[in-house]
Amino acid sequence: MATAPELDAPVATLDAFRAEVRAWLAANFPASLKGKDNALSALEGPTELSPDEIAWKTAMGEKGWGVPGWPAAYGGGGLDKAQIRVLNEEMARAGAWNPIGGMGVMMFGPTLLEYGSEAQKQEHIPAIAKGQVRWCQGYSEPNAGSDLANVQTFDEDAGDHYIVNGQKTWTSGGQWADKCFALVRTDKSQKHGGISFLLLDMTAPGVEVRPIAMISGQSPFCETFFTDVKVPKENLVGREGQGWEIGTRLLQHERNSLSGGGGASRLFAGKPMGKLAKEYRGEDEQGRVPDSDLRMRIVRHEMDSRAFALTLRRAALEAKSNQGPSAATSIMKNVGARITQDRAELSIEIMGMAGLGWEGEGFSEDELTQTRTWLWGKAVSIYGGSTEIQNNVISKRILGMLDHQ
């Protein structure tokens, strides 16, 4: 029988690494942060960090374990998949969490490691690995959402630099970002082949950001305007016209992260569904939720959630064994979105009127948070590529179905 890929390393070596990780966490992870929410992973910000949070972020960044699988030459941990598994197990055991994240980690960094020049990797990857630079994504435009290849933000060749003019929308975290990776048009004569992948400084003259207020009361997204923005030519990733290839590869990394981060991380967030139901619906004489139909739907949801989490783990191992995420991330993204939305809907049903509060003393903080989580969840099947777009990817790239002419 073949050895499982995550167990390839000698047991003795892994035991020694486990001891190293355990000792390092004991020396560097502040006890005050155990069991607390990861404030450093929030989309909205900047967040006021405590001295312990700053120390923890610095320690993980210097160690490279915020991005444990990235090459050590660029500030990553340089760990293999077996070591990463041990690191994750020991962090969970210690109640520790990863303070290094954001779009630089989940999308741009992995893409730059594949397509960037050596100079670009040396310039950008170490800062991402240490959590020192915040990135945003310049993809969608008012007339280029589902039809992303219709981007019209134009990148004019001005000799030793580019001049960028145009507009992006739904720029997540744009008002707090330092830099932006964007799809821009360098050739108007062809649709997909006229797109390039460019890196922009969000503090450059001509960049304007306008936050978009959401129904949830938050403003995590922006409209971003570029007016005669000068961009050095060394900020072009790959070659001119290669943007669609690079951009779609980045989307695979995004969907891979969203299926695990946007979906799975919320599947088990908060109280278990059974416990929540007993708090709001009570128990019968056998200690069960009285409503048998509700019990069955809770069980089905938990089964789907657990099966999805296990599938994510298997897919992650396969991705590390091959060449990174594949088109199968579209399946994961759709399933993760459905389960996340199902959980929010089920929670609201369980809580009744208590789950529909917006403000006021009649609701607890958890109840008010649940309302906003429910509203936020409506976007999960849209951002990162809508369910319909993912279905197209699945039909073409996995099932081999072609468009009928």
pLDDT at 253 over 90: no
64-95 CB burial, b ≥16 within 10 A, e <16: bbbbbbbeeebbbbbbbbbbbbbbeebbeeee
- pLDDT at position 328, please? 72
Least confident of 160-174, 223-237, 327-341: 327-341
| Mean confidence (pLDDT) of the chain | 86
Q: Name the active-site residue from 254, 283, 285, 345.
A: 254
Place of tokens 């980045």: 250
Active site annotation includes 6: no
39-48, 144-153, 211-220: least confident range: 39-48
Interhelix angle 292-321/81-94, rounded to 10 degrees, is 140
CA–CA gap between residue 81 and residue 97 (Å, rounded)? 18
pLDDT band at 374, cuts 50/70/90? confident
Q: Which residues are CB-contacts of 273 (< 8 A; sequence separation ≥ 6)?
A: 298, 301, 302, 343, 346, 347, 350
3-state secondary structure of 226: strand
Span 23-40, pLDDT tens digits: 999 999 999 998 775 655
pTM for this entry: 0.77
DSSP of 297-355:
HHHHHHHHHHHHHHHHHHHHHHHHHTTS--TTHHHHHHHHHHHHHHHHHHHHHHHGGGG
What are the tokens at 268?
A: 């088990």
CA-CA-CA-CA torsion for 378, 379, 380, 384, nearest 10 degrees? 160
Q: What is the pLDDT of residue 395?
A: 85
User: Which pLDDT score is estimated for 193?
Assistant: 96
- Residues sharing a CB contact under 8 Å with residue 1, sequence separation 6 or more, in sequence order: none
Which of 32-36, 155-159, 164-168, 277-281 shows the lowest mean pLDDT across its residues? Answer: 32-36
Question: What pLDDT score does 319 carry?
Answer: 59
